[in-house]
Each structure stands twice: as structure tokens, then as C-alpha cells.
């Protein structure tokens, strides 16, 4: 994975595949740390599957024999001096928390977060995807259901995804600008 947005896309895809009706994606950037939290109310994992989740040669998919998303996320977090933690219960869902040291030379670029969040919000309209991005002094949150209710229409109108992406991009940038001078992002 070349950037954090691709990790978010991969982990969220796992949530949708697990049958989640609600997916929460949190990204908190402050004090030299970037914390990525993704949780869902999907089918969850039993203890044995949870133990194997960070093994690249383990997957529950039948389409291929490796599962690299979570192992790469763990590796990229640890390369910065950070960590990865996963909790899960069958029938209740899964939560993943990756912590990155943003001052590390191995910190991934953030990537196109606005495009990633737009794809997740508009691509899985039956799931309430809640995105919450925060910096030391700024925050932006959006959700699929909130957006659908505000617009009072489906999010698959041909021109709407691009407008949503622009809105997310502008709001993330505005919340980031609220950060105090001299703080790491």
C-alpha cells in the first residue's frame, strides 16, 4: 500500500464484506501521531481467526490464498514506531486501531482521503459509513445517512460523487487549517 487512503479503502472493504450496516472510520492527527480507527458491526471474528488476521498467508477469502491488507497496515504502522491492535467478537463486529508516528521517515503519505471517503460513502449507500477526521484544533465528520437525508436523494446521481468529493476535500482542508502554527500534521 502506497498511502494511508489505500489502507482505509482496503480495511473498509473488509467491513462491507463482513455484512456491516455501520462502519466508523476515524483519523486523528495530532502531537506527532496519526491514529486510524476503523470499526464495524459486521459478523466479527472468532478467536482463532483474530489470531491469524495479521498473518499474510491467512485469508478467509476463497478467491486467493493470501490476505495482505491487515499485515501491510501492521507493517507500515510498526515501521514508524507505531502499532496495530484488533478486537473482534463473533456477531458484534471488529475494530482496528493503527497508530503511526508522523515524524518518522517511514510515515506513509495520507493519499487522496477525500476521494477514498467519497467512494466509501457513495459506493455502499445501504451502509452508514461515518467518517471523522480530526487534527489538534479542527474536526470534520460526515456520514452516508446524514448526507442522504440532507440531500433527500440517492447518492448515485451522476454528478453528485464529484461534488461530494470536493465538499469533503474542502472541509478536511478547512479543519486542518484550524491547527495551531508549528504543530505537526
Q: So where are the chain's domains?
A: 4-177
pLDDT, residue 181, reads 41
User: 56-101 pLDDT, tens per residue?
Assistant: 766 665 554 445 789 899 999 999 999 999 999 999 999 999 999 9
Instruction: Look up the pTM and report it.
Output: 0.88
Residue 4 CA to residue 26 CA, distance in Å, equals: 12
| Backbone phi, psi, residue 83, to 5° | -155, 170
**Which percentage of the chain shows pLDDT scores above 70?**
88
- More confidently predicted of 33 and 182: 33
137-147 residue pLDDT tens: 889 999 999 99
Instruction: Return the C-alpha torsion angle 175, 177, 182, 184, nearest 10.
Output: 50
Residues 43, 94: contact at Cβ < 8 Å? Answer: no
| CATH, domain range 4-177 | 3.30.565.10
Note the Cα 165 to chain centre separation in Å. 16
In tens, the pLDDT along 95-127 reads 999 999 999 999 999 999 999 999 999 999 999
Asked if 17 contacts 45 with a C-beta cutoff of 8 angstroms, the reply is no
How many residues are recorded in the chain?
Answer: 185
Residue 86 CA: distances (Å) to CA of 27, 89, 181: 16, 10, 34
- State residue 63's pLDDT score: 57
Q: Given this model, what pLDDT does residue 61 score?
A: 55
What average pLDDT is seen over the chain?
88
Paired with 35 in beta bridges are 28, 99
Confidence of residue 48 (pLDDT cuts 50, 70, 90): confident
Question: Residue 122 and residue 145: Cα distance in Å, rounded?
Answer: 10
Q: Which of 85, 129, 87, 135 is nearest to 110 (CA)?
A: 135
> Is 183's pLDDT higher than 80?
no
Predicted confidence at residue 8, as pLDDT, reads 97
Amino acid at each position: 500500500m502506497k498511502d494511508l487512503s489505500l489502507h482505509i479503502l482496503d480495511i473498509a472493504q473488509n467491513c462491507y464484506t463482513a455484512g456491516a450496516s455501520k462502519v466508523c472510520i476515524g483519523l486523528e492527527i495530532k502531537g506527532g501521531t496519526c491514529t486510524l480507527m476503523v470499526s464495524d458491526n459486521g459478523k466479527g471474528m472468532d478467536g482463532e481467526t483474530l489470531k491469524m488476521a495479521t498473518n499474510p498467508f491467512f485469508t478467509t477469502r476463497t478467491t486467493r490464498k493470501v490476505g495482505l491488507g491487515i499485515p501491510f497496515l501492521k507493517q507500515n504502522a510498526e515501521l514508524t514506531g507505531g502499532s496495530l491492535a484488533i478486537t473482534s467478537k463473533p456477531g458484534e463486529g471488529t475494530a482496528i486501531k493503527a497508530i503511526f508516528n508522523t515524524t518518522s521517515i517511514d510515515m506513509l503519505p495520507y493519499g487522496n482521503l477525500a476521494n477514498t471517503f467519497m467512494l466509501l460513502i457513495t459506493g455502499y449507500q445501504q451502509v452508514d459509513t461515518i467518517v471523522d477526521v480530526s487534527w489538534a484544533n479542527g474536526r470534520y465528520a460526515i456520514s452516508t445517512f446524514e448526507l442522504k437525508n440532507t440531500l433527500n436523494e440517492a447518492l448515485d446521481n451522476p454528478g453528485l460523487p464529484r461534488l461530494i468529493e470536493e465538499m469533503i476535500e474542502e472541509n478536511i482542508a478547512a479543519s486542518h487549517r484550524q491547527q495551531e502554527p508549528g504543530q505537526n500534521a
